[in-house]
Amino acid sequence: MDFQYTSFILSVVIASTPLLLAATGELVAERAGVLNLGVEGMMLVGAIAAFAVAVTTGSSTLGILAGVGAGVLTSLIFALLTLSFLSNQVATGLALTIFGTGLSALIGKAYVGMVVARLPQIHIPGLSDIPFFGPVFFGQDVLVYVSFALVAAVYWFLFRTHAGLVLRAVGNSHDAAHAIGFPVIKIRYLAVMFGGGMSGLAGAYMAIAYNTSWSEGMTAGRGWIALALVVFATWRPFWLVVGAYLFGSIMYLSLYIQGFGVHIPSQFISALPYASTVVVLVAISRDRKRIRLNAPASLGKTFHAAG
C-alpha cells in the first residue's frame, strides 16, 4: 500500500511540473500586460529542440538549455509582431501555437522512434532512502526543485524588488508607466522572453523527463491548461503551485482510472482534465472582486507610444 502512495505522488509530480513551469513563465508575461496564447506552440518547439539535442549529444543538460533557448527564440517572434509591429496579441498567440505545432512536427519527423535517457532522479544517500518521505522529498529529478525555486523567485521578484514593481506597473497601466518614463516595450520584451524560456523548459521536461521519446503534439494541450492556471491563480505565483498540482493530479488520475478498468467510456476520462479546466475557470470568474484586484488592467492591450 505504501508503495502505491509513493508512486502515485511521484507520478503526479511529474505530470504537474511542466504545467507549473509553463504557467510561471506566462504569469510573468501577463503581469507585464502581455497575453501570449502561444504557450502550447513554444512548449512544442522547446520539446523538440531539447529532445534533438539530448539525443544527438547524449547530454540532458544541453538538451534542457536547447529547450529554453528555443522557447526564447519562438517567443521573440511573438514579441516582435505584437510589441514592435503592434499586431493583435490574441491572433498572434494563436498563430504562434499553430506555427510551433507545425515546426516541431516537421523537425521531429527525423526523431520519431528514438529514445533518450530519462532525466535522472537525484539521490541523496540516507535521506532519499527514508520510506515514503525519501523519494517524495529527496528523490525527484532536478527540474522539480527548479520549478519550485522559480515560483519562489518570481514571487520575490514581482513583490519584493523595484524591478518587479515596475513590471507590474507596466501591466497595470502602460500609459501611466510610459508617462512616468518607463521603457514599456523593452520591459514587455523581457517578460515575453522569460515566458518563452519557461515554456521551452516545460517542453524540455515533457521530452526528456515526462517522456523519453518524441511524438507529434506530445504536449497534448498542457500549454492551454497552463494559460488557464494563470487565471485560476489570479496572477499570484504561489497559487500556481496549488493549481498545477490539482490539474496534475486530475491528469494522472484519468490515466489511473483507465488502468483500473472502471466502466466509464475512456473518452470521458481523457476529457476530464480539460473539462475540469472549464469548470474551474467558470467558478473563478464568479469571484469578480478577486479577479479585479489582481488582473493586470492592460492585459492583452496593444501599447502604442504617442509622439
Partner 1 sequence: MTDTPLLKLTGIVKQFPGCLANDHVDLTVMPGEIHALLGENGAGKSTLVKIIYGVLRPDEGEILWQGEAVSIANPNHARKLGIGMVFQHFSLFEALTVAENIALGLSDPKDREGLRERIVEISTNYGLPLDPDRAVHDLSVGERQRIEIVRCLLQSPKLLIMDEPTSVLTPQEVEKLFETLRRLASEGCSILYISHKLEEIRALCEKATIMRLGRVVAHCDPRESTARQLAELMIGTELKPPSAMRAGAIEGTPRLEVNRLTLVSDHQFGTSLREISFSVRGGEILGIGGIAGNGQTELMDALSGEVYAGKPQTILIDGVPAGHMGPSQRRSAGASFVPEERNGHGAVSAMTLSENAFLSGHIRHSLARLGLIDHGKTTAFAQEVIKVFDVRTVGPKAEARALSGGNLQKFVIGREVLQKPKVLVVSQPTWGVDAGAAAAIHQAIIELANEGTAVVLISQDLDEIFALCDNIAVIAGGRLSAPKPVSATSVSEIGILMGGISDPVGDSHAA
Residue ranges in contact with partner 1 by CB under 8 A: 162, 165-166, 168-169, 172-173, 175-182, 288-289, 292-294, 296-297, 307
Strand partners, 141: 121
Helix (H) or strand (E) holding 242: helix 237-259
In the complex, what is the shortest distance from the CB of residue 176 to partner 1, in angstroms, rounded to a whole number? 4
Cα torsion 269, 273, 278, 280: sign: positive
C-alpha cell at 47: 520539446
The nearer residue to partner 1, 154 or 169, going by C-beta atoms, is 169
Which residue's C-alpha cell is 529532445?
51
**CA 230, CA 238: separation in Å to the nearest integer?**
11
The nearer residue to partner 1, 103 or 176, going by C-beta atoms, is 176
In the complex, what is the shortest distance from the CB of residue 193 to partner 1, in angstroms, rounded to a whole number? 23
In the complex, what is the shortest distance from the CB of residue 183 to partner 1, in angstroms, rounded to a whole number? 9
In the complex, what is the shortest distance from the CB of residue 38 to partner 1, in angstroms, rounded to a whole number? 26
**CA 38, CA 88: separation in Å to the nearest integer?**
13
In the complex, what is the shortest distance from the CB of residue 216 to partner 1, in angstroms, rounded to a whole number? 41
**CA 154, CA 237: separation in Å to the nearest integer?**
7
Q: Give the largest CA-CA distance in the chain.
A: 68
- The number of beta carbons lying within 10 Å of the beta carbon of residue 23 is 35
The nearer residue to partner 1, 196 or 296, going by C-beta atoms, is 296
The nearer residue to partner 1, 131 or 181, going by C-beta atoms, is 181
**CA 16, CA 64: separation in Å to the nearest integer?**
18
Cβ contact 255:7 at 8 Å = no
Query: For the chain, how big is the Rg over CA atoms in Å?
Result: 19
- The number of beta carbons lying within 10 Å of the beta carbon of residue 147 is 27
The nearer residue to partner 1, 118 or 292, going by C-beta atoms, is 292
**CA 81, CA 132: separation in Å to the nearest integer?**
49
The nearer residue to partner 1, 167 or 250, going by C-beta atoms, is 167
In the complex, what is the shortest distance from the CB of residue 285 to partner 1, in angstroms, rounded to a whole number? 15
In the complex, what is the shortest distance from the CB of residue 95 to partner 1, in angstroms, rounded to a whole number? 23
The nearer residue to partner 1, 158 or 192, going by C-beta atoms, is 158
